[in-house]
């Protein structure tokens, strides 16, 4: 199997973050988003986790998939609460209305997905050390 360089991984992830941030609605606007988009958000985190762990360990594909699923789920849950706290500190307690009225969905989505990927990458690096 051909190995993916770190530059290629970073390029793919940045392009995916920009595409998804532009095309998906933000979960932090007034009214939120449909439940189906939550599943797509988790699928996005799972795909990025698979890209990150592509040549991580020499273990079986099923174990890698189980490992990525667990880390992605934890990153998704932690990321939602962390980004919600950050946005509430920056925009105040009415952040849903502020984001909706000032068309800040794209920036909010970029922050959200970047934090998710950072948590996932940080978790992989901690586990890799052991």
Give the pLDDT of residue 2.
63
Decide if 26 is inside a domain.
yes
Q: What is the pLDDT of residue 54?
A: 76
pLDDT of residue 57: 66
Q: How many domains does the chain have?
A: 1
pTM: 0.81
Residue 99 covered by a domain: yes
**Is 1 a member of any domain?**
no
In three state form, how does the secondary structure of the chain look? Answer: CCCCCHHHHHHHHHHHHHHHHHHCCCCCCCCCCCHHHHHHHHHHHHHHHHHHCCCCCCCCHHHHHHHHHHHHHHHHHHHHHHHHHHHHHHHCCCHHHHHHHCCCHHHHHHHHHHHHHHHHHHHHHHHHHC
| pLDDT in single tens digits along all 130 residues of the chain | 566 777 887 888 888 888 888 888 777 777 677 777 788 888 888 888 888 887 766 778 888 888 889 999 999 999 989 998 988 888 887 877 777 778 788 888 888 889 988 998 888 888 877 6
* Residue 15 within a domain: yes
Q: In which domain, by residue range, is 89 found? A: 6-129
pLDDT recorded at residue 73: 92
């Amino acid at each position: 199997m051909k190995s993916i360089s770190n530059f290629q991984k970073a390029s793919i992830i940045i392009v995916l973050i920009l595409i998804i941030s532009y095309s998906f609605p933000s979960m932090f606007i007034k009214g939120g988003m449909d439940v189906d988009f939550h599943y797509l958000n988790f699928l996005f985190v799972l795909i990025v986790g698979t890209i990150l762990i592509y040549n991580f360990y020499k273990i079986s594909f099923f174990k890698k998939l189980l490992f990525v699923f667990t880390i992605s789920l934890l990153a998704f849950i932690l990321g939602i609460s962390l980004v919600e706290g950050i946005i509430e500190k920056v925009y105040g307690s009415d952040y849903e209305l502020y984001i909706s009225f000032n068309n800040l969905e794209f920036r909010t989505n970029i922050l959200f997905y970047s934090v998710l990927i950072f948590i996932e990458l940080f978790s992989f690096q901690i586990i890799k050390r052991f």
